[in-house]
C-alpha cells in the first residue's frame, strides 16, 4: 500500500464521481437550517414590497420647507388615508408606507412640532430617507440558488422572497459502525487493555452536523462474521456507511473484505495523507462506504476531508469544500510522502491570517482536535514548511 497512495485531491475526485445527489424533500423554513437548497428561490414580489420610510419622521414633498400642516399619520402596517398635498406633512414611522404624494422623509430630529404644524430645519432632497420597493429584491430575481447551504441569512432572504416552504436535498441516511475488541462505551469502567469508544460519539455527531440522519450505529468486535453481519444490516438501511477501525493490514482487520464480499466495489484504498493513510472507499450502486482508520484523530480528519463533502454533495451542495489561505505561525516538519492535515487554530492579525497547530499532532492525540478551527494542509516533501509560509486551510 505504500506505493500507489492517492493524493487527497484524487481520492476526493473518486468520491465525487460516485455521488449521485438524492431526491428532494419539501421542508418548512423553520426546519431548513443546515439543509441544502434543492431549488432556485425567486422573489415572488418586490422586496421591500412598497416604498417606505427609513426613519421615524415626516413624509413630505421634496423641496417643501418652513411650516407644514400635519394631516395624517402612516404607521408600520397601516398607511395614511389621505394623499399628501402641498404645504402638508404626514407623520411616518420606520417601515411605514410612503403616502401618496410624498417623495421624501424628514427625520424627527430635523423638525419640530407645534400643535398641528411641523417646522422643518431644511427642505428635503427627493428620495431622502425613502426605501424604494424592490430595492433589495426586485420581483422575479433569483435570491438563493440551488445547492446553497441554508443558514439563518438564507432563511431570512427566502422568507422575504415570500416562501414558507422550500425543497431541500433529502438527508442522507448514515450508518456508523465502529470496530475493535478493546472498545467500551463512554461512561463505562475500563478493564485491562480497554479504551473508551471515542469514534462512535464523534462520528455520530459529525454525521448529524453534516445534515445527515444517523439511522444505525453499532459497535462490533474484531470478528469477520460480526463485521459482515453489521455491514450487511447497514447496507439494508443506509445511503452511506462509515466504519472506523479494522481497515489496515492486521490479522484482525475484517472491514475491507466484508465490504467487498457484500458487493461494495473498492474505489480506493490508501491516501497520501497524514493522518489517514489506510482510508478505504467503495460504492455499491448509489450506496457509498467509507472505511476510516481507527485512530480517533484519523477517523475525525478523514470524515472531515472525505465523508462530510460526500454527505453535503448527496444533499445537492457542491462537493469541493471551501478552502482559504493562511500563513503558518510556526515551522512544521514536512512528511516525505504524505500531505499532512494539521489541526490548527486561526488567528486574524494585522499582518494576515495565521494558523497555529493545536499541539502534538499524533493520530491518537484526541486533544489535538480541541479548539481546532481548521485543517492546515502541508504538502509532502523534505525539510520544513517555514513560519510565514502560505498554506491552504479547510475550515472545520
List residues near ligand AMP by CB under 6 A: 178, 180, 182-183, 195, 197-200, 244-248, 250, 293-296
* Partner from Mg ion, ligand AMP, none binding residue 195, C-beta < 5-8 Å depending on class: ligand AMP
Contact 161, 43 (CB under 8 A): yes
Q: How far is the CB of 326 from Mg ion (least distance, A)?
A: 34
> By C-beta, is 129 or 279 nearer to Mg ion?
279
Contact 128, 116 (CB under 8 A): no
Q: How far is the CB of 223 from ligand AMP (least distance, A)?
A: 13
Total H helices, total E strands in the chain: 7, 28
Classify 147 as helix, strand or coil. coil
Contact 145, 42 (CB under 8 A): no
- In sequence order, which residues have a C-beta less than 8 Å from that of residue 218 and are 6 or more positions away? 175, 176, 177, 178, 230, 233, 234
291 binds Mg ion (CB under 5 A): no
**Cα–Cα distance measured from residue 27 to residue 91, given in angstroms and rounded to the nearest whole number:** 41
Q: How far is the CB of 309 from Mg ion (least distance, A)?
A: 25
State the binding string over 250-289 for Mg ion (x if CB under 5 A, else -): ----------------------------------------
Residue nearest to ligand AMP (CB): 294
> By C-beta, is 149 or 180 nearer to ligand AMP?
180
357 binds Mg ion (CB under 5 A): no
Burial classification of residue 153, based on how many CB atoms lie within 10 Å of its CB (0-12 exposed, 13-18 middle, 19 or more buried): exposed
* Partner from Mg ion, ligand AMP, none binding residue 309, C-beta < 5-8 Å depending on class: none
Q: How far is the CB of 366 from ligand AMP (least distance, A)?
A: 8
Q: How many residues bind Mg ion (CB under 5 A)?
A: 4
- Helix or strand holding residue 18 (H, E): helix 8-18
- Helix or strand holding residue 234 (H, E): helix 224-237
Burial classification of residue 289, based on how many CB atoms lie within 10 Å of its CB (0-12 exposed, 13-18 middle, 19 or more buried): buried
Contact 341, 273 (CB under 8 A): yes
In which region does residue 104 sit, left (phi positive, over 0), alpha (psi from -120 to 50) or beta (all else)?
Answer: beta
Q: Which of 231, 271, 316 is nearest to 39 (CA)?
A: 316
* Partner from Mg ion, ligand AMP, none binding residue 375, C-beta < 5-8 Å depending on class: none
294 binds Mg ion (CB under 5 A): yes
Residue numbers 238-257 binding Mg ion by CB under 5 A:
245-246
> By C-beta, is 140 or 185 nearer to ligand AMP?
185
Residue 188 C-alpha cell reads as: 463505562
> By C-beta, is 6 or 178 nearer to ligand AMP?
178
Q: How far is the CB of 138 from ligand AMP (least distance, A)?
A: 53
Q: How far is the CB of 371 from ligand AMP (least distance, A)?
A: 20
> By C-beta, is 85 or 250 nearer to Mg ion?
250
Q: How far is the CB of 223 from Mg ion (least distance, A)?
A: 11
Residue at grid coordinates 475500563: 190
Residue 223 C-alpha cell reads as: 470478528
Q: How far is the CB of 4 from ligand AMP (least distance, A)?
A: 20
Give the footprint of Mg ion on this chain (CB under 5 A).
180, 245-246, 294
Amino acid at each position: 500500500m505504500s506505493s500507489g497512495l492517492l493524493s487527497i485531491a484524487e481520492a476526493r475526485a473518486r468520491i465525487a464521481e460516485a455521488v449521485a445527489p438524492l431526491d428532494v424533500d419539501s421542508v418548512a423554513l423553520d426546519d431548513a437550517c443546515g439543509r441544502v437548497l434543492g431549488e432556485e428561490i425567486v422573489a415572488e414580489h418586490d422586496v421591500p414590497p412598497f416604498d417606505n420610510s427609513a426613519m421615524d419622521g415626516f413624509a413630505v414633498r421634496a423641496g417643501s420647507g418652513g411650516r407644514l400642516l400635519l394631516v395624517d399619520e402612516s404607521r408600520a402596517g397601516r398607511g395614511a388615508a389621505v394623499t399628501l398635498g402641498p404645504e402638508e406633512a404626514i407623520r411616518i414611522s420606520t417601515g411605514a408606507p410612503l403616502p401618496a404624494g410624498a417623495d421624501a422623509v424628514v427625520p424627527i430630529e430635523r423638525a419640530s412640532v407645534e400643535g398641528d404644524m411641523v417646522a422643518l430645519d431644511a427642505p428635503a432632497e427627493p428620495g431622502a430617507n425613502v426605501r424604494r420597493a424592490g430595492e433589495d429584491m426586485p420581483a422575479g430575481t433569483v435570491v438563493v440558488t440551488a445547492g446553497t447551504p441554508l443558514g439563518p441569512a438564507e432563511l431570512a432572504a427566502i422568507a422575504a422572497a415570500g416562501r414558507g416552504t422550500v425543497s431541500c436535498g433529502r438527508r442522507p441516511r448514515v450508518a456508523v459502525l465502529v470496530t475493535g475488541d478493546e472498545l467500551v462505551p463512554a461512561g463505562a469502567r475500563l478493564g485491562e487493555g480497554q479504551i473508551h469508544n471515542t469514534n462512535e460519539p464523534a462520528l455520530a455527531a459529525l454525521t448529524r452536523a453534516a445534515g445527515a440522519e444517523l439511522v444505525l450505529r453499532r459497535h462490533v468486535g474484531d470478528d469477520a462474521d460480526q463485521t459482515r453481519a453489521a455491514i450487511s444490516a447497514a447496507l439494508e438501511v443506509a445511503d452511506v456507511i462509515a466504519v472506523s477501525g479494522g481497515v489496515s493490514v492486521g490479522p484482525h482487520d475484517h472491514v475491507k473484505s466484508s465490504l467487498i464480499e457484500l458487493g461494495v466495489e473498492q474505489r480506493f484504498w490508501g491516501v497520501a495523507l497524514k493522518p489517514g493513510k489506510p482510508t478505504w472507499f467503495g460504492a455499491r450502486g448509489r450506496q457509498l462506504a467509507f472505511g476510516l482508520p481507527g485512530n480517533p484523530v484519523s477517523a475525525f480528519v478523514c470524515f472531515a476531508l472525505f465523508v462530510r463533502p460526500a454527505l453535503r454533495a448527496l444533499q445537492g451542495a457542491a462537493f469541493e469544500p471551501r478552502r482559504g489561505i493562511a500563513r503558518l505561525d510556526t515551522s512544521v516538519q514536512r512528511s516525505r510522502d504524505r500531505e499532512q492535515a494539521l489541526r490548527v487554530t486561526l488567528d486574524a492579525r494585522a499582518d494576515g491570517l495565521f494558523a497555529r497547530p493545536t499541539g502534538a499532532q499524533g493520530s491518537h492525540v484526541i486533544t489535538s482536535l480541541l479548539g481546532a478551527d481548521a485543517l492546515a494542509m502541508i504538502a509532502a516533501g523534505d525539510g520544513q514548511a517555514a513560519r510565514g509560509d502560505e498554506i491552504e486551510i479547510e475550515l472545520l
